[in-house]
Amino acid sequence: MYLCSMEANVTLNNLTIGYPHHTVQQQLNGTIRAGRLTCVVGENGCGKSTLLRTLAGFLKPQSGCIKVGGANVSRLTVSQLSRLISVVLTTRPDTDNLTVEEVVAMGRAPYTDCWGRLTADDRELTARALQTTGISALRQRKCGNLSDGELQKTMIAKALAQQTPLILLDEPTAFLDFPSKVLVMRLLAQLAHDEGKTILLSTHDVTLAARLADDIWMMRKHQGWQSITREELKAYIESI
């Protein structure tokens, strides 16, 4: 494992999430395991994105705690979080004028000096992240000229270059055609299994989750979440 040798389970203890004056979910408990691809599924508005933003440290828990590898997320500095958690969001980043290599190298920012200068090790890790995600041939392409699938792989490569044990992704297959959805999900499963990453994503692609996820959590509005099997998810899909 060249990108990060540390594995980290994520533990939720009586976690309540939401926004000022608005609670989205209460008393969430569970463990997201390292080395596995975990998918959170559920209808719009049930709190999937809110959960991911809370896990990333963008939102403060209303109560309870989140531990990543034993560290309480709420007690970590921004610098510490950036070396522990990387995030891939659905919104298209404003990187059209940057090359793929430049964007992926931005994942090294938590480790560079105040001038953002890359060392030989930083460049090597960037190159390896490009290779792992299969986009080395695109390294000099401008991001504005990429397909949605190529850009999504670029952002995943950036997260890899960041060398964090935990990667959070919010709807990573949204807006992709079906072949690209499958490629991205397979890539994430491979990274979890081969690199020991803890990979947690939200998705509406429940059919793909049923096929490729190691662990699945079903979230319902104001009813918390529960771990379900692939067979239970398939039964849910058939009942819709």
Give mean pLDDT, residues 82-105.
Answer: 92
180-203 burial, b if ≥16 CB within 10 A, otherwise e? bbbbbbebbbebbeebbbbbbbbb
Of 19, 138, 155, 40, which Cα lies nearest the Cα of 90? 155
Phi, psi dihedral angles at 54 (to 5 degrees): -75, -45
The reported pTM is 0.92
Confidence of residue 87 (pLDDT cuts 50, 70, 90): very high
Kindly state the tokens that stand for 19.
């926004």
pLDDT at res. 6 = 60
- State the pLDDT at residue 175: 85
Cβ atoms of 66 and 229 closer than 8 Å: no
Q: Residue 113 pLDDT more than 90?
A: no
| pLDDT above 60: residue 2 | no
All domains of the chain in start order, with CATH: 8-84+165-240 (3.40.50.300), 91-163 (no CATH)
pLDDT of residue 66 exceeding 90, the answer is yes
pLDDT digits (tens, 9 = 90+) for 177-230: 999 999 999 999 999 999 999 999 999 999 999 999 999 999 999 899 999 999
Phi-psi region of 128 (alpha: psi -120 to 50; beta: other; left: phi over 0): alpha
C-beta separation of 172 from 164 below 8 A? no
